[in-house]
Structure 1
Amino acid sequence: MTLVQCSDPGLSAVPINVPADTVKLRLEKTLISRVPRAAFYNLSELRFLWLTYNSITSVHPSSFVNLKALRELRLDGNLLTTFPWEGLRDMPHLQTLGLHNNRLSSLPAHAALFLHNITYLDLSSNRLTILPAEFLDLWFPLPGLQEGPVQRKILGLHDNPWLCDCQISMLTSLSMSFGSSVVLMDQLLMCSRSLGQSGMLLTQAELSRCMRLSVQPAATRVISPLGSNVILRCDASGYPTPTLTWIKTSSYSVMQESTRVGVRWSIISLNGISYKDAGEYRCQARNMAGTSEAPIKLKVMGVSRLSRPPKKISRKIPSKSSSKYRKKLMFESDSEGCKRGLDRIGLEREESRKLKCFLN
C-alpha cells in the first residue's frame, strides 16, 4: 500500500508522477490553485485524497474521473466559491466529503442528487446563508418513508452566517429527535434575522413556528352524477414546504404544484366516474415535521343506462291456401326459381317435390 504526502510550498500544480498504486495521497500547504480535468486519472486504486490548505479556487467537474475506489475527499482550507457537485458521480463509493473553511456562499438543491453514499459532509466555516428545502427533501427521507435501518449522516453547518429561516430551524429540530438520520457536528447554530446583523441562537419558539403543518381540502364531501368528470383539490401549508400524496385505490391523474415557499396544492382528476370511484380520498401532507391529512368523500349518484337489444322482425309465412302463396309460386318462372321460392318460405323439401310450378 503506497502513501504519498507532499507539502512543498513551491508546488503550484497537481503532480503527474504519482505512483499508480497509490492508495492515499496528501497534497497540503502548497500553491496549487486549480484542479484540472482528469487530474488523478492514473490513480484508480486511490482511496483517500487530501487536498487541504492549498490555494485552490476552482475544481473541474471532471477532475475525479476514474476514482471509483475513492472513499474520502478533503478540500478543507482552500478558496473555493463553488464546488462541482455533479463530479461526485465519478466517485460512487465516496463517503466523506470535507469542504470546511472555504468561501462557499450557496448550496444548490440539486447537490443532494449526488450525495447518495455520503455519510459525512462538512460545510462549516463557509459563507452559507440559506439551506434549500429541496436539498433536505432529496437527501433526507421524510418521516415514515425510511426503508431498512436508518443511515446516519454527519453534517457540519456551524460557523456560517445563516438566516433565521425554517429550513435551518427544522434541520436543527430533526437532529435533536430520537433516532434521527442527521447528526450535526455542532447543534448550537448561530443565525441572524438579516445579513450583517450579529448572530443569535435558534430558539424553541422559532422551531415551533416552523413545525406547523395543515391540510385544507376544497370540499370534504362531493356528490357527482355517474359518468361525469370530477376534480378534487387540497392545499397544504407548512415549513419546509410539504409534499402531498393522495391515498385511494383508483386510477386517476395527479397534478401537484407549489405556488410559493411553504404552500403547496394538489388536484386529482377523475374522468367519466363510475361507482368504483366512490369512497374516501385522503390528501396527506408530509415534511420533516411529520404528517397531516384530510379526507374527502366522493358519492356517485345516478342509474346506468342499459342498452336495449334491437327488436326482431318476424316474417309472416302465408298459408298454402292463400292467394299470396299462389302468387309467390307463380313469380318463380323456372324450376330452379320455383325451388328457391319454396325453400325461402319454409316448406319442407318433401312437400316441395309434390308441388308443381306454374309456368307462363
Structure 2
Amino acid sequence: MQAGRLSTARWGAFYLLLAAGLASQAPEQCPHSCRRCGAAVSTVNCSYAGLSGVPERLPSDLTRLNLSHNAIRTLAPEQFGALTRLEDLDLSDNLLAYVEADALLGLWSLLDLRVARNRLKVLPAGALAGLSRLRLLDVSGNEILGVLDFTFRDLAGLRVLQALHNHVVFVSRQAFAGLTELRQLYLDACNLTSVPTEAFAHLGGLTVLHLHRLESSALPDYAFLGLARLKELVVADWPRLETLSANSLVGLNLTSLAIRKCNLSAVPFAALHHLVYLVNLDLSSNPISYIQGNQLRDLLRLEEFHLAGGRLRRIEMATFYGSVSLKLLDVSRNLLSTLEEGVFHSPDALRHLGLNGNPLACDCRLLWLARRRSSLQFVGGPPTCGQWDFLGYAAADMAELLTCRSPRVQPRQPDSVWVEQGHTAVLHCDAEGRPEPSVTWLDPGRRALTNAGRIRAVGNGSLEVRYAQPQDTGIYRCVASNAAGNDTRPIELRVRTLSKKKPFHLKSWPAALPSLSPDLREPPFDVKTLLIAASIGFLSFCSSVGVCFIAIFFWSKSRGQIKHTANIAYVPRSAAASSNGGAGNSMETSRFTMKLM
C-alpha cells in the first residue's frame, strides 16, 4: 500500500517537472510590459507600456487589443494581418503621424477602432481598406486638415464617426460617399467657413449630427436638406453665428435641437416654427435678453427648454402657450428679476426648474413657486431672492415677504397738452408700484401703441407724437400694470392748426366768366404769391433777351468786318429792247452804289 502511494507521488513529480520544462521552451506570447497576456487570453492590455511599435508576438485568437498611451509613430502595411479575430483595437494617445495604405488589412472582424489624440493630418486613401464590418471610428483630437473624396468608401457598415477637435479646413463633396449605414457623426471643424451641405447629402440615414467650432457667420438656407431622418442636431461653439434664417432648418424633422455657445441675440422663432415634433430645445450660453410671448405656440410636443448661462432679462407672459407637455425649464445663471406663472400653458406639468443664479425680486410673482415647491425639483439648487432662500420659509412668513403694491400714475404734466401743427409733442407717464409697473399707451380709438411709427411709445414710459397733425387731436391713455393691478391716466392732446392769410379776390373775374361754378368764379389770390410769380417771370424774360443779344454779338464778330456799301449792276430797259432788233450791238449795262444804313 505504501509502495503504491510512493509510486504515485513519483509519477506526479515527474509530470510537474515535464510541464515546467515544456513551459520554459514555449515561445513568449507578448512583451513583459503588457498585462493579461497568454495563449488562452482574448484581451491584451499594453497601455502605458512604453512601446515604440506594435508588438510582434500576439495571440492569433485575440479579440481586444489596447495599445493606447504609448509612443507608436507609424503603422506598416498589414501590421495586424494575423489578428483575424480582433474586434476592438485602441491606438489612442500615441504619436501616429501617418497610416500607410493597407496598414489595417486583415482585420476582417474589427468592429471598433480608436485612433484619437494622435498627430494625424490626413487619412490617405486605402488607410481604412478591409474594414467592412467596422461600426465605430474615433479620430478625434488629431490635426486632420481635410477630408478627401472616398476616404471612407470601404466602411459600408460604419455607424458612428467621431472627428472632434481637429483642424479641418475643407470637406470634399464625396468625402462621405459609401457611408450608407452611418447614424452618428460628430464633426469639429474649427477652420471650416461653411456647412459642407453637398457632402452631407450622402448621409441619408444619419440620425445624430454634432457640428462644433465652425467659423461660419450664418447657417445657410437648406443646409441639411438631404438629412430627412435626422433627429438630433447640435450646433455649438460658433462665435460668429448671430442669427438663423427662416429656411436654414427646412427639410428637418428634429426631436432634439441644441444651439449652444453661439452669438444669438434672439430666439430664432422663424426657423423653429415647422419643427412640430421637437421635444428638446437648448439655446444655452447665447446673449438672448428677451423671449416674446406666444412665439413658441407651434412646438406642441416640447418637453425641455434650456437657456442657461445667458443674458435673459425677461420672459413674457404666454411664452410657452401651446407647449402643454413642458416638464423641464432651465433658465439658471441669467439676469431674470422674476418668473411668472403666466408664462406656462400648464404649470402643473412642470417637474424640473432651473432658476438659481438670477437676481430675483422678492415679490408676489414668486408665490406660485412657494405653492408648488413640494412637486418641483430645482436644477442646480433652489432659487433665492436677494440673499434669502425664500422657499425655506413657512407659509405665513412667505406671505409677508413676497408682497406687491398696486401701481399709481403720477401727474407729471397737465391733463391737456397743446402743440403746434408740425411740431413734436411728448406725453409723460410716471408710475410707481411693486414690482415696477409696465406702461402701455392707448390712442383715442383705444388701440395699443407700439414703439414704431410717427406716434410711438418710447423706452422711459412716455409717448412721442412727431410732426403733430390736426387728426392726432384726442385723448390718449397711459395704463400702468403689474402683478397687483393697474392704473390709468387720460391726457388730452390738442394740435393748433397753422393760421391762413386773407385771400385776394379779382373782382372782374365773376363778370368775365358768368357761366362757371361759384368755386371757379371766385378764385382766391395771394398778393405775396402774385408778386413773387411776376418777379420770376420778369427776370426770366430779361435773362432770355440778354442771352439772345449776346449770341448775336458773338455771331457777328465771327463773320469778319461788316461792309457798309454795295455796288449793283443792271441793264436799262431801252438798251434791252434795241439789242433784240440788232444782234450785233453789245448790251450796255449800268451800275449804281447803295449805302447800307
The TM-score normalised by the length of structure 1 is: 0.50
Answer whether contact 2:429 2:461 (CA < 8 A) is retained: yes
Superposition pairs of residues 143-292 of structure 1, within 5 angstroms = 151-152=322-323, 158=329, 161-163=332-334, 165-166=336-337, 169-170=339-340, 173-177=341-345, 186-193=351-358, 199-201=381-383, 219=413, 221-224=415-418, 227=421, 229=423, 231-235=425-429, 244=440, 246-248=442-444, 253-258=454-459, 263-271=460-468, 273-274=469-470, 276-283=471-478
Answer whether contact 1:244 1:266 (CA < 8 A) is retained: no
Give the corresponding residue for 1:109.
Answer: 266
Question: Given the alignment, which residue of 115, 136, 149 partners 2:292?
Answer: 136
Task: Assess, with a 3 A threshold, how the Cα gap between structure 1 residues 118 and 298 changes in structure 2: closer, same or farther.
Answer: same
Answer whether contact 2:317 2:342 (CA < 8 A) is retained: no
Answer whether contact 1:56 1:79 (CA < 8 A) is retained: yes
Give the AA of the match of 2:175: I
Question: Given the alignment, which residue of 197, 201, 224 partners 1:67?
Answer: 224
Answer whether contact 2:236 2:262 (CA < 8 A) is retained: no
Superposition pairs of residues 47-66 of structure 1, within 5 angstroms = 49-51=207-209, 56-58=212-214, 60=216, 61-62=218-219, 65-66=222-223
Deviation digits for residues 231-261 of structure 1 (CA, Å, limit 9, x no counterpart): 13244779899685552469x8234443xxx
Superposition pairs of residues 295-310 of structure 1, within 5 angstroms = 295-299=490-494, 307=502, 310=505
Superposition pairs of residues 319-338 of structure 1, within 5 angstroms = none
Paired with 1:138 and 1:240, the residues of 2 have a C-alpha distance of 23
Matched, 1:27 2:184: yes
3-state SS of 2:137 partner: coil
Give the corresponding residue for 1:8.
Answer: 137
3-state SS of 1:51 partner: strand
Q: Return the offset for 1:266.
A: 3.6
Give the AA of the match of 2:465: I
Paired with 1:288 and 1:69, the residues of 2 have a C-alpha distance of 49
Give the AA of the match of 2:491: I
Deviation digits for residues 241-287 of structure 1 (CA, Å, limit 9, x no counterpart): 9685552469x8234443xxxx554412253x43x443212346799
Q: Return the offset for 1:7.
A: 4.2
Task: Assess, with a 3 A threshold, how the Cα gap between structure 1 residues 223 and 90 changes in structure 2: closer, same or farther.
Answer: closer
Paired with 1:70 and 1:290, the residues of 2 have a C-alpha distance of 51
Give the AA of the match of 1:39: P
Paired with 1:81 and 1:18, the residues of 2 have a C-alpha distance of 26
Task: Assess, with a 3 A threshold, how the Cα gap between structure 1 residues 84 and 156 changes in structure 2: closer, same or farther.
Answer: farther
Answer whether contact 1:224 1:230 (CA < 8 A) is retained: no
Paired with 1:247 and 1:93, the residues of 2 have a C-alpha distance of 44
Give the corresponding residue for 2:176.
Answer: 17
Give the AA of the match of 2:243: E
Paired with 1:129 and 1:66, the residues of 2 have a C-alpha distance of 21
3-state SS of 1:174 partner: helix
Give the AA of the match of 1:254: I
Paired with 1:116 and 1:292, the residues of 2 have a C-alpha distance of 36
Paired with 1:286 and 1:311, the residues of 2 have a C-alpha distance of 62
Paired with 2:411 and 2:206, the residues of 1 have a C-alpha distance of 53
Answer whether contact 2:237 2:262 (CA < 8 A) is retained: no
Task: Assess, with a 3 A threshold, how the Cα gap between structure 1 residues 136 and 267 changes in structure 2: closer, same or farther.
Answer: same
The TM-score normalised by the length of structure 2 is: 0.34
Give the AA of the match of 2:138: P
Deviation digits for residues 14-73 of structure 1 (CA, Å, limit 9, x no counterpart): 8833579x8x96315x5x323853423262995974125xx8444744477443476755
Give the AA of the match of 1:162: R
Task: Choose between structure 1 and 2 for higher RCO, CA contacts under 8 A separated by at least 6 residues.
Answer: 1
Task: Assess, with a 3 A threshold, how the Cα gap between structure 1 residues 112 and 33 changes in structure 2: closer, same or farther.
Answer: same
Task: Assess, with a 3 A threshold, how the Cα gap between structure 1 residues 123 and 46 changes in structure 2: closer, same or farther.
Answer: same
Paired with 1:56 and 1:210, the residues of 2 have a C-alpha distance of 46
3-state SS of 2:197 partner: coil
Task: Assess, with a 3 A threshold, how the Cα gap between structure 1 residues 312 and 107 changes in structure 2: closer, same or farther.
Answer: closer
Give the AA of the match of 2:176: N
Paired with 1:247 and 1:90, the residues of 2 have a C-alpha distance of 39
The structure that has the greater radius of gyration is 2
Answer whether contact 1:164 1:191 (CA < 8 A) is retained: no
Give the AA of the match of 1:247: D
Superposition pairs of residues 345-356 of structure 1, within 5 angstroms = none
Give the AA of the match of 2:337: C
3-state SS of 1:92 partner: coil
Cα RMSD after superposing both structures = 5.8
Any stretches of 5+ residues in structure 1 without a counterpart? 315-360
Paired with 1:270 and 1:65, the residues of 2 have a C-alpha distance of 45
List structure 1 runs of 4+ shifted beyond 6 angstroms. Answer: 141-144, 153-157, 202-206, 208-217, 236-241, 285-292, 301-304
Give the corresponding residue for 2:196.
Answer: 39
Q: Higher strand fraction: Structure 1 or Structure 2?
A: 1
Give the corresponding residue for 1:84.
Answer: 241
Paired with 1:38 and 1:302, the residues of 2 have a C-alpha distance of 60
Task: Assess, with a 3 A threshold, how the Cα gap between structure 1 residues 218 and 139 changes in structure 2: closer, same or farther.
Answer: farther
Paired with 1:66 and 1:165, the residues of 2 have a C-alpha distance of 34
Paired with 2:435 and 2:204, the residues of 1 have a C-alpha distance of 42
Deviation digits for residues 63-87 of structure 1 (CA, Å, limit 9, x no counterpart): 77443476755245x8647583635
Give the AA of the match of 1:221: D
Task: Assess, with a 3 A threshold, how the Cα gap between structure 1 residues 236 and 113 changes in structure 2: closer, same or farther.
Answer: farther
Deviation digits for residues 189-221 of structure 1 (CA, Å, limit 9, x no counterpart): 231257xxx732366989x78998776675462
3-state SS of 1:166 partner: coil
Any stretches of 5+ residues in structure 2 without a counterpart? 1-133, 140-160, 164-170, 298-315, 360-379, 385-389, 392-397, 448-452, 510-597
Give aligned pairs, total. 280
